[in-house]
Amino acid sequence: MSNFTPSSTAEMVFSNAETKQLLVDILQHNISFPSNGRNTLLLYGSFGSGKTTYANIFFNEYEKSYNGSTALVENVFVDGSEGIAKTIDRLNNIASLIPFNHSNKHYFLFDEVDGYKTVQQQRLKSWMNREHIVCVMTTNHIQRIDKGLRSRCFEVEFNASTNVYDYVQRMKQIIQQHKMPMLSDEALYHIAERGKGDWRDICSTLQRVCSGVVDKPPTKPKLTIVG
């Protein structure tokens, strides 16, 4: 299933057209980012919708928009095991270094940021008041995120797409890329509807169904001559 992971914004299936356009505008610098106190994307939505996968795609494409190479990403996993003071110290140390990339920015990924308590999130938002960092935060529970923290973010919905056809088209791309037997639109629609936006379920089902397809013409029946 890991072979089916998208590698670009173009290969992602977003919840709606407005969400994709926002990200494209940021990547094309039609929207200043980071600026005006916003240096973070807050990706929120259901499990398996591709939030963490897209975080790394965004970092890479954002850095490449400066004619640079792959972005230098610092992954910060929020699981409650580290105190906020220690986390802030670590982030300050990283942010104080000179970045070796064309954008002159540091990249931070905060996975499942709702794992921090409210007071910890409030400490984190103070750290974010700087222009030379680009952050992506992910959460399955946006209602648990501090309002002050959210105000520093572009909120990007990662729930299931309202258009099942988007999933069908992406699965067709996957099938072609991996030279698997093509399925009918009806079968692909069924897989998409069953998955409900969860790419782990969609990809595993697609792989199983395709592996069960015999990509050979049917054998002609033998004729029996009577008399």
Q: Tens digits of per-residue pLDDT, 159-172?
A: 888 889 999 999 99
Max Cα distance, the chain (Å)? 94
Residues 63 and 118 placed together within one structural domain of the fold? yes
Domain boundary among 142, 157, 172: 157
Rg (CA), the chain: 22
| Residue 19 falls inside a structural domain | yes
| Residue 59 falls inside a structural domain | yes
For residue 223, the model assigns a pLDDT of: 46
Residues 177 and 90 placed together within one structural domain of the fold? no
Cis-peptide, bond into residue 217, ω within 30° of zero: no
Tens digits of per-residue pLDDT, 13-64?
A: 999 999 999 999 999 999 999 988 899 999 999 888 899 999 999 999 999 9
Residues 91 and 171 placed together within one structural domain of the fold? no
Residues 127 and 176 placed together within one structural domain of the fold? no
For 70, residues 6+ apart whose C-beta sits below 8 A from its C-beta are 60, 63, 64
Residues 114 and 183 placed together within one structural domain of the fold? no
| Residue 227 falls inside a structural domain | no
| Residue 175 falls inside a structural domain | yes
For residue 9, the model assigns a pLDDT of: 95
Coil, helix or strand for 175? Answer: helix
Which of residues 95 and 3 earns the better pLDDT score? 95
Mean residue pLDDT of the chain comes to 86
For residue 214, the model assigns a pLDDT of: 47
Residues 118 and 169 placed together within one structural domain of the fold? no
Residues 62 and 112 placed together within one structural domain of the fold? yes
Residues 80 and 119 placed together within one structural domain of the fold? yes
Q: Any idea which of 143-147, 149-153, 218-222 has the lowest mean pLDDT?
A: 218-222
| Residue 220 falls inside a structural domain | no
| Residue 226 falls inside a structural domain | no
Is the predicted pLDDT of residue 220 greater than 60, yes or no? no
Contact 37, 129 (CB under 8 A): yes
Contact 170, 145 (CB under 8 A): no
Structural domain containing residue 205 = 164-211
Query: 133-139 and 40-44 as β-strands: parallel, antiparallel, unpaired?
Result: parallel
> Tokens in use for 140?
């399955």
Residues 88 and 149 placed together within one structural domain of the fold? yes
> Which of the four pLDDT bands, split at 50, 70 and 90, describes residue 79?
low
Give the chain's domain count.
Answer: 2
Which residue reads 């590698």 in tokens? 7
Which of residues 111 and 77 earns the better pLDDT score? 111
For residue 218, the model assigns a pLDDT of: 45
Looking at residue 115, the DSSP 8-state letter turns out to be G
For residue 185, the model assigns a pLDDT of: 93
Residues 52 and 123 placed together within one structural domain of the fold? yes
Residues 170 and 141 placed together within one structural domain of the fold? no
* CATH code for the domain in which residue 130 is found: 3.40.50.300
Residues 177 and 105 placed together within one structural domain of the fold? no
| Residue 225 falls inside a structural domain | no
Residues 65 and 27: their CA atoms lie apart, in Å, by: 7
H runs (alpha helix) in the chain: 17-27, 51-64, 84-95, 118-127, 147-150, 164-177, 185-195, 199-211
For residue 224, the model assigns a pLDDT of: 47
